[in-house]
Structure formats: C-alpha cells, structure tokens
C-alpha cells in the first residue's frame, strides 16, 4: 500500500487539504500519515524578567494539538482511508522530510496558502522548502481563498 505524508497546521485550509489527500489516497490505494510539527519553544515567553519557561503552556498546547490530530485522523478513517498521526517538535521542513523518509513514503501532500513576495523573503515558505528538498513527489494543493 502506498503512503502519503500529510503535514497539517490546523489552519482554516487544513480541511481542504485533508479532503484532497483523502480523495488522492482513494485514487491510488494509499494510507495517510498525518504529521504536525510543533514549535520547539512553545512554553517560552520573553518579558520584563527575560526569557521564562512555562511548562503548563507547553503541556496545554501539546494536548490541544494532539486532540486536533485525533479529530483529523478520525475524519480520514471515517472516509475509508487508513490513517495514523504523529506530533513532533522541531524545525518543520526538516522534521517532515525526515518523517517521510522514516515511513518510506511515496508522496507528500502540502498546501499552498498563496502568500508570496515580502512574506517569503522574511518568513520563507515551508511548501517551497519541502518541494525543493524532497526526494519523493510533492503534491501542492492551493488552499488560499478563491477571491
């Protein structure tokens, strides 16, 4: 069975991305592995006292992200596609590509939010990074508003 890696960020476009990936998985008889990459510095805050670490902030955020991953996994499974999920912390692009390699994946399905120009110069594009570095096919799904 083929394997699709589906990175999700729980943004508004995640629903569209999941729908596309489920349809694609059905077309090619594949299973989906959801991955969410959480920031490594979730519980760190800078304030008057400098950097402070609040483990409860990190714990609450991780619990929220795991709940969201579980919901997406159940949504995929309810549509007849095998699905697993994982939450990792790290640098998103590298972590996603390492996961795809670990899973011996056939495809990565990512969303394009339609940002460009100054945004890419300062922030960079995760989609661009993945498509540039990936050893396997990357399907880019346009997820921006159609207006």
CA-angle at 8, arms to 33 and 103, nearest 5°: 25
pLDDT at residue 59, rounded to an integer: 75
Considering its fold, how many domains does the chain have in total? 1
Which pLDDT tens digits describe the chain residue by residue (147 residues)? 999 999 999 888 888 999 999 999 999 999 999 999 987 766 555 666 666 555 666 677 888 999 999 999 999 999 999 999 999 988 999 999 999 999 999 999 998 865 554 444 434 488 889 999 999 999 999 876 555
pLDDT at residue 130, rounded to an integer: 94
The answer to the question of residue 124 being in a domain is yes
The answer to the question of residue 146 being in a domain is no
Taking residue 1's Cβ as centre, other Cβ atoms within 10 Å add up to 9
The answer to the question of residue 55 being in a domain is yes
Looking up tokens 């902030």 gives 57
Dist. CA 129–CA 127, nearest whole Å: 5
Give the single-character DSSP code of 116: -
The answer to the question of residue 147 being in a domain is no
* Range(s) of the domain holding residue 131: 2-141
Residue 15's CATH number? 3.40.50.620
The answer to the question of residue 84 being in a domain is yes
pLDDT at residue 126, rounded to an integer: 87
pLDDT at residue 48, rounded to an integer: 66
């Amino acid at each position: 069975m083929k394997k699709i890696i589906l990175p999700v960020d729980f943004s508004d476009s995640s629903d569209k991305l999941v729908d596309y990936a489920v349809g694609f998985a059905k077309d090619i008889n594949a299973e989906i592995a959801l991955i969410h990459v959480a920031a490594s510095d979730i519980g760190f805050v800078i304030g008057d006292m400098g950097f402070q670490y609040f483990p409860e902030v990190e714990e609450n955020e991780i619990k929220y992200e795991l709940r969201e991953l579980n919901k997406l996994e159940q949504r995929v499974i309810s549509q007849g596609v095998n699905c697993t999920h994982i939450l990792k912390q790290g640098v998103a692009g590298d972590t996603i590509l390492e996961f795809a390699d670990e899973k011996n994946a056939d495809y990565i399905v990512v969303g394009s939010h339609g940002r460009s120009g100054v945004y890419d110069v300062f922030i960079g594009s995760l989609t661009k990074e993945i498509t540039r570095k990936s050893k396997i096919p990357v399907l880019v799904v346009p997820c921006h508003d159609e207006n």
